[in-house]
Amino acid sequence: MTPPLVVSSTPFADVDPAAPINASGVVPVAPSRFVFIDNQNRTELLELTLNPGGTQREPLKRRQMTGLSGGSLSDPEGFTNIDVNGEVDLIVASSRSVWRDPSSGQAVVKHGLVRVRYRPEGDLVAEAMPGFRDWLLAQHPTLAHAAELDPDHGGLNIEG
């Protein structure tokens, strides 16, 4: 019987220890290669490559996202991958798809879901997937009241 793989904490070469990473989602994109979201960073994803034994192969790679209006995600929380014939799309969920602008008090609708086309090198092209929130509310009318509230105060909060 093969002993279980034990993963221990390994510091990343280019990460400031005073500003820890808040990984909100991790998905595989290739064998021994993973991409994850830092909840504190809304403009890039982080890529980790492992050796067959499970140790870190190379420094953590910062992967810039392009294509989003406003240039960033709004509170990225989790994501999944879709691999169709080797073409990998990452679907990012943002919990703050609606928030109140502090200066005006008006509701601001943000992305909700974002599709990111994964490529092994270069920037990652991201695009908002409009309509998910409206579709969800149409399918589940009992959520209508929660959709009017702030996510931190009992409102609709999509996190993964």
Q: Looking at the predicted structure, is the pLDDT value of residue 68 above 80?
A: no
Q: Is the pLDDT of residue 3 over 70?
A: no
Q: What is the mean pLDDT of the chain?
A: 78
pLDDT for residue 2:
62
Please state, for a pLDDT cut of 90, what percent of the chain lies above it.
15
Q: Residue 141: pLDDT band by 50, 70, 90 thresholds?
A: very high
Alpha helices in 9-107 (DSSP H): none
Compute the distance between CA of residue 49 and CA of residue 60 in angstroms, rounded to an integer.
8
Q: Distance between CA 133 and CA 111 in Å, rounded?
A: 9
Name the residue with higher pLDDT: 43 or 47: 47
Residues 6+ positions from 16 with CB-CB distance below 8 Å = none
Owner of token pair 């974002």: 114
- pLDDT at position 127 is 86
Tracing tokens 């270069």 back to the chain, one arrives at 122
Whether 146 shows a pLDDT value over 70: the answer reads yes
Q: Taking the complete model, does pTM exceed 0.75, yes or no?
A: no
What is the C-alpha separation between 35 and 33, in angstroms, rounded?
Answer: 7
Residue with more model confidence, 12 or 87: 87
